[in-house]
Amino acid sequence: MIRKILGFAVMALVAILVFKIALALLGVLLGLAVAVLVLAAMGYVFFLVLRIFSPKTASRVQEVIKGR
């Protein structure tokens, strides 16, 4: 009986450990995705401001990005 309880406790600890690792990885991936989205939004806003104040420079930046 004690062996069954001990086996269940070990299994529960392993499940908790796996669950914590999975959530940590999910948190890291979510954090990276949000960081990339924020940087993309900042770049987009910068490009829009550049397009408003200096359309010629904005077209040159766009050519560099597209590789022409």
The residue extents of the domains of the chain are 2-66
Quote the tokens at residue 44: 């987009």
Cα–Cα distance for residue pair 6/31, rounded to 1 Å = 37
* Per-residue pLDDT in tens (0 to 9) along the chain, 68 residues: 888 889 999 999 999 999 999 999 999 999 999 999 999 999 999 999 999 998 898 889 888 888 87
Q: Provide the pLDDT for residue 40.
A: 96
Q: Provide the pLDDT for residue 31.
A: 97
